[in-house]
Amino acid sequence: MSKRVAVVLAGCGVLDGSEIHEVSATLVHLSRQGASVKIFAPNIDQMHVVDHVKGAPTEDRRNVLVESARLARGDIQDLSELSVQDLDALIFPGGFGVAKNLCTWAVQGKDCLVNEQVKAVLQAFHSEKKPIGLCCISPVLAAKIFPGCEVTVGHDKDERCPDVPDTAKAITELGCKHICKNVSEAHVDEKNKIVTTCAFMCKAPLHEIFDGIGVMVQETLKLA
């Protein structure tokens, strides 16, 4: 029987939503594993809209669910409709939208607030002992909600991962354990059933990021 997996998005575009390559890689690997996928996003406003040519915020207003629908080819549901009983695993791709729309990490760091719907979904899967996969910056969601968990956002000695040392330090200050992993690897916290990989937290070639996400997906499904 195929595993039923929820993928939660945070908009469309690395600077203000979900990272498009990470979403695509996640969906390709889930397809390859024969998983049945449902895509969700919260029906909320984005923190802001960023012009991806200029890299600067604009005056536009956009909705996270509406923007995420672009990546889902329209086949998407409001996060409020997610039922943990109907699913076997949960995956969050990364992108700044995770840190801006699903929580306030981009502004407040470890003192951030997590969107209540996002928090409730994560807690529901965790309490049901169903696995959670997270990549790029999204492991900070687990670090904020599940004290003592183990996650990776990359390797703090890899010069291609300039943001990892500060993020790893913040994760540690939240009472969690940061495990250094290379971009093609994932870390499995077997106790909490949390699987993480760094993806674009590392400035690596796309195929390496694709492979690391593949490991995350495969390990998440093994726990389902």
Options 103, 135, 136, 202, the catalytic residue: 136
Contact by Cβ (8 Å): 206, 20? no
The one-letter amino acid at 220: T
- Please tell me the distance from the alpha carbon of residue 176 to that of residue 164, in angstroms, as a whole number: 15
Q: Which of 200, 218, 198 is nearest to 89 (CA)?
A: 218
Q: Is 161 helix (H, G, I), strand (E, B) or coil?
A: coil
Residue with tokens 């990272």: 19
User: What does DSSP say about strands 177-178 and 150-151: parallel, antiparallel, or unpaired?
Assistant: parallel
For residue 122, CA distances in Å to 45, 53, 119, 126, 173 come to: 20, 33, 5, 6, 21
Catalytic, 136? Answer: yes
Return left, alpha or beta for 169; rule: phi > 0 is left, psi -120 to 50 is alpha, else beta: alpha
- Please tell me the distance from the alpha carbon of residue 46 to that of residue 106, in angstroms, as a whole number: 13
- What dihedral do alpha carbons 120, 144, 141, 86 form, nearest 10°? -30
Q: Is 177 helix (H, G, I), strand (E, B) or coil?
A: strand
Which residues form the catalytic set? 136
